[in-house]
Amino acid sequence: MLPRDYARIDNAVLAELLRLVGTIPDEVEGDAFGKIYEYFLGKFALAEGKLGGEFFTPTSIVKLIVDIIEPFHGRILDPACGSGGMFVQSARFVEEHQKNPTSEISIFGQERVEETIRLAKMNLAVHGLSGDIVQSNTYYEDPHSSVGRFDFVLANPPFNVNAIDKERIKDDRRFPLGIPSVDNGNYLWIQIFSSALNETGRAGFVMANSASDARHSELAIRRKLIEDRQVDVIVAVGSNFFYTVSLPVTLWFLDRGKKDIDRSDQVLFIDARHIFRQVDRAHRDFTPAHHEFLANIVRMYRGEELELAHRSSAMLEESFPDLGYVDLPGLCKVASIEEIETHGWSLNPGRYVGVADGSEDDFDFAERFGEATEEFQALSIEAGELVQLVVENAALISADGTGQLT
C-alpha cells in the first residue's frame, strides 16, 4: 500500500523498494513484514526527532510495559495510541505465551492526528491484527465509553500539556479524583488511565518524572490513588531512551485488583536508571535479558512464576541468589503506604531505593541537570499560579460592596 501522493517519490526509489521486498523468501518464518514495518517506523521516528516522538514510543520501553502488566486476555485501550506499538507488543506477548492474540485480546485506541491513525492501522494490518481506533481529542472525547470497561490500559501520553479547557471536562466521569488546579495535563492523563480500568484491570504508562513529586492539587490526586491501593509498581528509567527528549522518565503501573490481596498496602519501586545498552552516543535501550530481568523482579514481588527464555538467569542469580524477592539498595524496594506517607506521598523511586551498598552514586551531570530543569519548570508554573491566586484574593479583600476596587 502506497500513500496517495506516492508520485512525489522518485521512480528509482520505488523500484528499489519493490526489488528489496521481492527478495523476501516466501517461506520466511515469523512476522517478517511486521518487523520490517516496525523497523522503518523506528528509523522514521529517529529521523523526525521531536515530531517522530508524537507517534512512536521506542519498542524497548513498550516491551517492558507489556511484560509487567501481562495482557494475557481481554480488552486493551491506548487513548494516545500513536502508531499502535502498544497493541503490537501486547499481541507479541500473547503469542510468546502460546496463545492466539486475535482471539485473546480486543484492541481499542484513540489518536488525535489522522495521518498517525493511518500508521496505526497499517501497523496492525501487517501484524495480522485489527482494532477499533478512533480519531478524537482524548481530553474532551471518550468515544469508547471507557469508564470501568477495560482489562488493560497502555499509553505514552504527551507530557506537561497546558491550555486544556477545564470547563469542558469539569463534569467528565473520567476525572473522579478532581481536576488539578495547575495548568498541566499529566494528572488528567493518569485519571483517564485509572478510570478506564475494570475491577481487576491493570495499567502501564510512561510519565514525566515531575509527576512523581508534583505538589498541591496534583499531590492530592496522587495521594488518593495510593490510598485507594491502585499504585502497584513504579520504575525509573534512565535518560536517552526516547528520540524526542534526553530526559529520564518514570513508568507507572496501576492494578485495581490488588486491593484484597497481601500486597495491597505495598508499592514496588525499581530504579532501572543504571540498566541499559548503549546503542549509540545519544540513544540507549534494554536488551531482551534486561526486559526479562526487570519483569522478573515484579514477578517475584507478585509471587508469580519466573520466565527465563531470554537468558536473564545470570542477572537474577547475581542479584537474587535464592530467586526470591528481597529489597536491594540501588535496585528495588517494597515500601508500605505508611512509608510513602512519610515521604510526602512521593512516587519517586530514588527516595526509597537509595544507593547500592559499597558503591558510589553514579553522577551523570546531563541527567541530573535535566531533572533539575524539569523540576524548576514545574515549580515556576506553580509559583506563577500562586502569585495569580494571591493577586485575585487581594483584589477581593480590598473590594467594596459593589465589587469595585477601593
In order, the DSSP letters of 321-358 are TTSS---BTTTEEEEEHHHHHHTTT---THHHH---TT
Distance from the Cα of residue 328 to its chain's centroid: 24
Report whether 219 contacts 244 (CB < 8 A).
Answer: no
> Does the pLDDT of residue 54 top 60, yes or no?
no
Task: Name the grid cell of 80.
Answer: 494516545
Dihedrals φ, ψ of 198, to 5°? -80, -170
> Does the pLDDT of residue 156 top 50, yes or no?
yes
Reduced to 3 states (helix: H, G, I; strand: E, B; else coil), residue 46 is helix
What does the alpha-carbon distance between residue 52 and residue 42 come to, in Å, rounded to a whole number? 9
> Does the pLDDT of residue 357 top 60, yes or no?
yes
Beta bridge partners of 109: 78, 133
Give the residue, 391 or 187, on which the prediction is more confident: 187
Give the pLDDT confidence score for residue 30 in this predicted structure.
43
Amino acid at 110: Q
Q: What integer best gives the mean pLDDT of the chain?
A: 85
* 51 contact partners, CB below 8 Å, separation of at least 6: none
What does the alpha-carbon distance between residue 200 and residue 148 come to, in Å, rounded to a whole number? 10
Mean predicted confidence (pLDDT) in 121-132: 88
335 pLDDT band (50/70/90 cuts)?
Answer: very high
Residues of the chain with pLDDT > 70: what percent? 77
> Does the pLDDT of residue 405 top 50, yes or no?
no
Q: In what order do the strands lie in the sheet with 266-271?
A: 132-135, 105-111, 74-78, 150-155, 197-208, 249-255, 231-237, 266-271, 332-336
Tell me how many helices (H) and strands (E) the chain has: 13, 11
406 pLDDT band (50/70/90 cuts)?
Answer: very low
Mean predicted confidence (pLDDT) in 332-349: 97
Reduced to 3 states (helix: H, G, I; strand: E, B; else coil), residue 192 is helix
Rounded to whole angstroms, the maximal C-alpha distance in the chain is 85
What does the alpha-carbon distance between residue 379 and residue 374 come to, in Å, rounded to a whole number? 9
Give the pLDDT confidence score for residue 107 in this predicted structure.
97
359 pLDDT band (50/70/90 cuts)?
Answer: low
Give the pLDDT confidence score for residue 99 in this predicted structure.
93
Mean predicted confidence (pLDDT) in 277-285: 87
366 pLDDT band (50/70/90 cuts)?
Answer: low
48 pLDDT band (50/70/90 cuts)?
Answer: low
130-155: pLDDT as tens digits: 999 999 999 999 999 999 999 999 99
> Does the pLDDT of residue 390 top 70, yes or no?
yes
Mean predicted confidence (pLDDT) in 252-259: 96
387 pLDDT band (50/70/90 cuts)?
Answer: confident
Instruction: Tell me the C-alpha to C-alpha distance, in Å, between residue 383 and each of 182, 187, 346, 387.
Output: 10, 18, 20, 6
Most confident of 39-43, 173-177, 282-286: 173-177
Give the residue, 28 or 77, on which the prediction is more confident: 77
Mean predicted confidence (pLDDT) in 40-66: 67
Amino acid at 293: F
Give the pLDDT confidence score for residue 73 in this predicted structure.
96
Tally of CB atoms within 10 A around 373: 11
50 pLDDT band (50/70/90 cuts)?
Answer: very low
Lowest mean pLDDT of 179-193, 315-329, 348-362, name the range: 348-362
What does the alpha-carbon distance between residue 111 and residue 334 come to, in Å, rounded to a whole number? 36
Domain range 28-353, CATH class: alpha beta
Mean predicted confidence (pLDDT) in 117-140: 91
